[in-house]
Amino acid sequence: MKLKSVALLAVLLASLNLQAGDETGSPEKLTFTAEQEVQLTAVIDAIDLEARTVTLTGPMGNSRTLQAREDSNNIDKVKVGDQVDVKYIQNLTVQLWANDGMEPGEGGMTVQGTNKEGEAPAAMELVSTVETAVVEEINLEANTFKLRWPNGEVNEYVAQDPENLKKGEVGDLVSVTYTEAIALTLMANEE
């Protein structure tokens, strides 16, 4: 199935992108990662063919409206009341790097895929964004640190683990990578 190949490629690209970065010679000092995965069955509550949107409601009553791509050709195959298998993954990685003069920046990547016409309706999307900030201040006594983001804003944060503040230095680079992936598959209807 083409959709599985696109999903695998997206995950590989994202992991390569996250592992790259040692090319500058700046050694990594600290990494934190958090991930959550949810798999559930949702029900299609609304479809707007003109706007190419589908609204799904999960088992806890939470709704989310999704935008179908222009080239997705199976949106007319789904109907209100259909059940959709949803797999949703979020990953957050925060890394502290020695900085050799780099300034804060940001970037992103989106990978999408749908099944071919005639196949069971399914879609996936992976969105990965990376934002970097420069450490402006570390206050060991107050257990706080300040980061300067790409927009020039400087924000203060409280460290969860005071020992981690000792691993950083003013001028270090902090990279925050947020990746969100969702895969949807129409479940077989029993009619």
Quick check: is 77 in a domain?
no
Query: What's the pLDDT tens digit per position in 58-84?
Result: 999 999 998 888 877 778 888 999 999
Distance CA 170, CA 144 (A): 12
| C-alpha to C-alpha distances, 173 to 97, 106, 146, nearest whole angstrom | 5, 12, 12
- The pTM (predicted TM-score) of the whole model is 0.68
3-state secondary structure of 182: strand
More confident residue, 116 or 54: 54
Quick check: is 60 in a domain?
no
| Tokens of residue 52, six digits | 């190419």
Q: Which range, 41-50, 156-165, 182-191, is most confident?
A: 41-50
Quick check: is 150 in a domain?
yes
* Whether the Cβ atoms of residue 44 and residue 79 lie closer than 8 Å to each other: yes
Quick check: is 44 in a domain?
no
Query: What's the pLDDT tens digit per position in 106-132?
Result: 999 999 888 887 788 888 889 999 999
| Tokens of residue 143, six digits | 């257990």
Query: What's the pLDDT tens digit per position in 19-35?
Result: 344 444 456 788 888 89
Distance CA 51, CA 178 (A): 28
Q: What is the mean pLDDT of the chain?
A: 83
Quick check: is 79 in a domain?
no
Range of the domain at 139: 2-38+87-186
Distance CA 184, CA 187 (A): 9
Phi-psi group of 62: left, alpha or beta (phi > 0 → left; psi -120 to 50 → alpha; rest → beta): beta
Quick check: is 91 in a domain?
yes
Tally the domains of the chain: 1
pLDDT grade for 138, boundaries at 50, 70 and 90: very high
